Structure 1
Amino acid sequence: MDPGESGPQGGLERHLYDVVVVGAGGAGLRAAIAAHDAGAKVAIVCKSLLGKAHTVMAEGGIAAAMGNLYAEDNWQVHFRDTMRGGKMLNNWRMAQLHAQEAPDRVLELEEWGALFDRTDDGLISQRDFGGHRYARLAHVGDRTGLEMIRTLQQRAVDLGIDVFMECTVTELFRDETGPRPRISGAFAYWRETGRFIVFESPTVVLATGGIGKSYQVTSNSWEYTGDGHALAMRAGASLINMEFVQFHPTGMVWPPSVKGILVTESVRGDGGVLKNSEGERFMFDYIPEFFKAETADTVEEAEGWYTDKKNHRRPPELLPRDEVARAINSEIKAGRGSPHGGVFLDIASRRDAEFIRRRLPSMYHQFRELADVDITAEPMEVGPTCHYVMGGVEVDADTEQSIVEGLYAAGEVAGGMHGSNRLGGNSLSDLLVFGRRAGHNAAYHSHRLGGARPTVSDSQVKAAAAAALAPFEIAQDPGRRGENPYTIQKDLQDVMQRLVGIIRTAEELEASLGEIARLKERATRLAVEGHRQYNPGWHLALDLANMLVVSECIAKAALERQESRGGHTRDDFPGPDPSWGARNLVLTLPGGDFTAPVHLRHQPLPVMPDDLKTLFDQ
């Protein structure tokens, strides 16, 4: 029985496209624009409303070596910073392309109407950010992501690209009649009515973002349930680097009304400092020897800076995010945390109120309105918050195609670019650079096929519909004891927060895998009451399969990697191990069945060419 409809395919829609882009954040919009410009018929499918993508949360800026403040900045320095920030586990080719192409992508945004802050000379202004040697983040106050989305969205609408809003993809179709499997389309449903949609397309670009809703405390919004990661695995693609989860150093921990909301790195870039409960500015105690040796000749603690070899002064609060997050975590564990389990971020005592309101208008108004916190007059209580996953779909660096023909990925859902730790600001330029590449190559792939397009069979559509409706069937079966999706999500978030958090041990990771296996078994009995219309319980039931698979990938890879590197810290293996620095962990899902155990294997890291290696000798 199909609740609310007259059959399992009641009201089924079918659409034919050259390229289907899943996700409408920066990567998805840029991919759609590129595919359209290459002559493809394009659809954008987004889980939420257009314009509500998580890209708007990226407030600080777009990292691009434009040289507007420091003429000596160039793509080679940006490449080197990115590789060092990722602890050399990055895909070198992706890091190279990103550094080389980011300036052009920023200028392109400006041509399309983005209104950047300017220098006195009228150039695009650039600000300091953690891990970047030079000030290179092009910015629009502290709402850069919002301006990017506004600009790209307007461009996509002007081009007439079809958009399916509040529409969730639950399956990717593969045509297996040829010499090798290839993407043939996607199955989705309208969140408002529950009616099903079939997209027939020889290419799909995944731009679905991250996995943060598997954790209790996260900056991520409700959409971030690992959909793209899991869809790719179920279609036969592989994931890499999933053990590396970035905990942003400064998410609000108090008041409860803003718990988990990020305090942009721009606050520290514009002079904010971190203090413990004793009023000490503790970050000077956590400058790694690597950074002291590479960048610091002198430390002027009285002025609050360390000075690099070119006489540029930098605060230790702008070390890479993994270093800052671990330092905050150490202060909290040592009993020097704030009353609500964080530390204090203070800009009020270092900048006047007019400066703060001008440079950080969104931060000021957001916390004033939501929490009655005046950042011009008092410090904020902040702590590490699950923010970003460095791991994702394994793609070809130049084309962004996965190991499955016709399946592409860009943005946070793709792996490799950031290695074990992402530098702030690299996310927005990542979206632009690789979103464009994914869209172009998807369009070219579709054109090359001509009339020999893969097909979607009726049996595939019926199977996808039956899988989506299974929670209703279980609820109506008096002989089966159903499980509540909200209970399972709560239990999963507890497991991930408690056992797979910022500091990990083998014992806890093994326990987490046991818990996740039990949750996966319980999830086979998810039961949902009611009808398909306006049913958030049903929506969550469909998301849970994705969350469980991705969580298993994180925990399994974290247990396997016996070292600490970037966003992955093992208490029982506290330092980096050179042998682990030369390999990736690759995860696959045999048979595409989410109830099956995830398979893990080791894979050598791509070897960097000698001409790029010399950059690290300078």
Structure 2
Amino acid sequence: MSTYDTYDYDVLVIGAGGAGLRAAIEAAAHGVSVGLICKSLLGKAHTVMAEGGIAAALSNVDERDNWRVHFADTLRGGQYLNNWRMAELHAKEAPDRVRELEAWGALFDRTKDGRILQRNFGGHKYPRLAHVGDRTGLEMIRTLQDHGIHQGIDVHMECTIISLLKGGERIAGAFGYEREKGQFKLFRAKAIVIATGGIGRAYKITSNSWEYTGDGHALAYNAGAELMDMEFVQFHPTGMVWPPSVRGILVTEGVRGEGGILLNNAHQRFMFEAIPELYKQQTADNEEEGWRYTQGDKQAKRPPELLTRDHVARCIVREIKEGRGSPHNGVFLDISWIKSKIPHAADYIKKKLPSMYHQFKKLADIDITNEPMEVGPTTHYMMGGIRVDADTQMSTVPGLFAAGEAAAGLHGANRLGGNSLSDLLVFGKRAGEHAARFAAANWPATIDEREVNSIARQVLEPFERTTGENPFQLQYDLQEVMQDLVGIVRKEDELLQAMDELQKLQARYGQVKVVGNREYNNGWHTALDLQNLLTVSEAITRAAIERKESRGAHFREDYPKKDEQTGNCNLIIVKGKGGEMLVKRETLTAMRPDLIQIIDEMK
């Protein structure tokens, strides 16, 4: 029988990024006891990597902006696979969440008359992103953390959850371990909010930090929750490509929002060739309402570099494949050209993009005020995740909620830049509120201690093997498979090959071996994370095989066009009674007539 520390909470929040912190704050505000789990240290959440801004229709820079335009932009960017109710709530509530963050102490960049400044971003019709230079995510985490520590929330840092526990059909708690000492921990809870972020570490090239191993997706799936839209993995167009030690680190879309242009090795702006006919016609027919962006107080045509991320990423891949890439297998991103347009451009760049300036100076010895950066696509964000109710954020398992990147629905087939941070605030608040209400209305469900002891024995098995697979090698091989066969451009034979390779990796995982003891054993941690990575990788691949069309971030070379029949449904992943992974189609819910009218008016 294993020994473990036991904790009791009304609401347990797993994940301490923007969504997790906002959920914990809201739950505590409703008077329930709250526990918050951090896989690493409090404040070291991946939210800090979201640099460009928070998308919210504040209308501070362009008075034509409003929630209806934001709603329409989000649906258009998501190729209309979005949960329309989530998109409506998000667009309506994002401005209040930003103002709330400001009231809690967030220091935003300002317009000349003192309002929150907003910048342009890809896929947004008007300048909409409230920002703090290019450190917006860091400011969000700082603000939420500073506010949250006064709310009576218990924080468990460097703790990883291994399994969710149920009492009957209802959530009952979670079982995990302390990373430093390896001590097991049992958390009893009436409601659980999953806010664990994404799956980037399933790929070799990613902007995501080591924590992003699909934990929340796999935990929910194994507990019986449904996953949705798992084929839609966003590859951010611009990550660093050189030197190799920093490959994949994010280069914010804010560079392009401030005027950065993409160039091939012939110094050509190749994105002009990629403007969809719809927008070419828009610009030609109606110059005033066409593609525009704001820089200071000056209006100009909106550049093609600010097309949606999926589109820009594929254009960059095309340039590289056709031999027009940069020396290190990327393309050039140049912000220094604005020296010919505005006075004191170097100071302007350093003010607007301080993190990018220091990042390239320190890591690549490049001064972005004088020379272009080399960039290429990097695995960045997961549109798919746990299927939730739009209003409450509860999954298909009673008492299990999800918010942020771990939840699906808002973004559809492709996320617009900046919508992630407002997503965290809007639905983090909603998840915390409804988790607290659920907890207040229910007695704790009973946990079976035999199940807990069985889980503990399973996770210690790698220590008992004298021979077996190296977990680090297994993770490397998995990342190679996903990068090469389930990447930006997909086709049937490669996806089927990936499924075969994943099955082999799963078999090898059954023989994984670790050495040493349980105290801060990275090999053991990697071995436990691997099961989650294998689960989400299989879900991504199975969904990618099933969706035989190209839509948003999912591009099939063998099915390059949209298919109306396939495009009218979401793909749902569920665990079968025999443990097998099943994929089913679910037709989209009909949109309300008033929202259809908004979409039609914005076209």
TM-score, with length taken from structure 1: 0.94
Q: Which letter does structure 2 place at the counterpart of 1:265?
A: E
Task: Choose which of 408, 415, 427 in structure 1 pairs with 2:420.
Answer: 427
How far did residue 462 of structure 1 move? 0.4
Compared with structure 1, are the counterparts of its residues 275 and 434 closer, same or farther at alpha carbon in structure 2 (3 Å cutoff)? same
Q: What residue in structure 1 maps to residue 24 of structure 2?
A: 32
Partner Cα distance (1:71, 1:211) in 2: 37
How far did residue 147 of structure 1 move? 0.1
How far did residue 443 of structure 1 move? 0.3
1:515 equivalent to 2:514? Answer: no
Partner Cα distance (2:465, 2:535) in 1: 21
Partner Cα distance (1:102, 1:133) in 2: 16
Partner Cα distance (1:574, 1:393) in 2: 27
Partner Cα distance (1:603, 1:474) in 2: 43
Task: Choose which of 464, 468, 487 in structure 2 pairs with 1:473.
Answer: 464
Compared with structure 1, are the counterparts of its residues 398 and 162 closer, same or farther at alpha carbon in structure 2 (3 Å cutoff)? same
Indicate the SS of the match to 2:149. Answer: helix
Aligned positions of 1:583-602 closer than 5 A = 583-591=569-577, 596-602=579-585
Q: Which letter does structure 1 place at the counterpart of 2:599?
A: F
Partner Cα distance (2:96, 2:111) in 1: 18
Compared with structure 1, are the counterparts of its residues 217 and 229 closer, same or farther at alpha carbon in structure 2 (3 Å cutoff)? same
Task: Choose which of 527, 545, 552 in structure 2 pairs with 1:559.
Answer: 545
How far did residue 527 of structure 1 move? 1.1
Indicate the SS of the match to 2:208. Answer: coil
1:397 equivalent to 2:383? Answer: no
Indicate the SS of the match to 2:544. Answer: helix
1:393-425 superposed Cα distances (whole Å, 9 cap, x missing partner): 000000000000000000000011100000000
Q: Which letter does structure 2 place at the counterpart of 1:561?
A: R
1:334 equivalent to 2:322? Answer: yes
Partner Cα distance (1:316, 1:574) in 2: 21
Aligned positions of 1:331-410 closer than 5 A = 331-351=319-339, 352-410=345-403
Partner Cα distance (2:230, 2:282) in 1: 29
Partner Cα distance (1:363, 1:555) in 2: 34
Residue pair 2:79, 2:413 contacting (<8 A) in 1 also:
yes
Aligned positions of 1:46-65 closer than 5 A = 46-65=38-57
Let me know the Cα RMSD of the aligned residues. Answer: 1.5
Q: What residue in structure 1 maps to residue 342 of structure 2?
A: none
How far did residue 293 of structure 1 move? 3.7
Q: Which letter does structure 2 place at the counterpart of 1:543?
A: D
Q: What residue in structure 1 maps to residue 483 of structure 2?
A: 497
Partner Cα distance (1:273, 1:414) in 2: 33
Residue pair 2:134, 2:355 contacting (<8 A) in 1 also:
yes
1:148 equivalent to 2:136? Answer: no
Task: Choose which of 563, 567, 579 in structure 2 pairs with 1:577.
Answer: 563
1:610 equivalent to 2:593? Answer: yes
Aligned positions of 1:5-20 closer than 5 A = 9-10=2-3, 12-20=4-12
1:434-488 superposed Cα distances (whole Å, 9 cap, x missing partner): 0000000000000011xx320212112101211221211234xxxxx41111111
Q: What residue in structure 2 maps to residue 275 of structure 1?
A: 263
Task: Choose which of 96, 107, 113 in structure 1 pairs with 2:99.
Answer: 107
TM-score, with length taken from structure 2: 0.96
Segments of 5+ residues of structure 1 without an aligned counterpart are 1-7, 476-480
Partner Cα distance (2:335, 2:225) in 1: 45
Partner Cα distance (1:245, 1:471) in 2: 31
How far did residue 427 of structure 1 move? 0.2
Indicate the SS of the match to 2:556. Answer: coil
Compared with structure 1, are the counterparts of its residues 66 and 295 closer, same or farther at alpha carbon in structure 2 (3 Å cutoff)? farther
How far did residue 312 of structure 1 move? 5.8
Task: Choose which of 139, 147, 151 in structure 1 pairs with 2:131.
Answer: 139
1:552-607 superposed Cα distances (whole Å, 9 cap, x missing partner): 0001100110000000000000011121221011001225x8xx431111111121
Partner Cα distance (2:83, 2:255) in 1: 30
Segments of 5+ residues of structure 2 without an aligned counterpart are 294-298, 340-344
Task: Choose which of 455, 466, 479 in structure 2 pairs with 1:464.
Answer: 455
Partner Cα distance (2:47, 2:239) in 1: 16
Partner Cα distance (2:263, 2:331) in 1: 6
Residue pair 1:19, 1:204 contacting (<8 A) in 2 also:
yes
Residue pair 1:295, 1:307 contacting (<8 A) in 2 also:
no
Q: What residue in structure 1 maps to residue 535 of structure 2?
A: 549
Task: Choose which of 196, 206, 210 in structure 1 pairs with 2:194.
Answer: 206
How far did residue 306 of structure 1 move? 5.0
How far did residue 534 of structure 1 move? 1.4
Q: What residue in structure 2 maps to residue 72 of structure 1?
A: 64
How far did residue 333 of structure 1 move? 1.1
Partner Cα distance (1:613, 1:331) in 2: 37
Task: Choose which of 220, 242, 248 in structure 1 pairs with 2:236.
Answer: 248
Aligned positions of 1:128-277 closer than 5 A = 128-176=120-168, 181-277=169-265
How far did residue 350 of structure 1 move? 1.7
Partner Cα distance (2:186, 2:300) in 1: 56
Residue pair 1:298, 1:306 contacting (<8 A) in 2 also:
no
State the identity as a percent: 60
Partner Cα distance (1:401, 1:468) in 2: 28
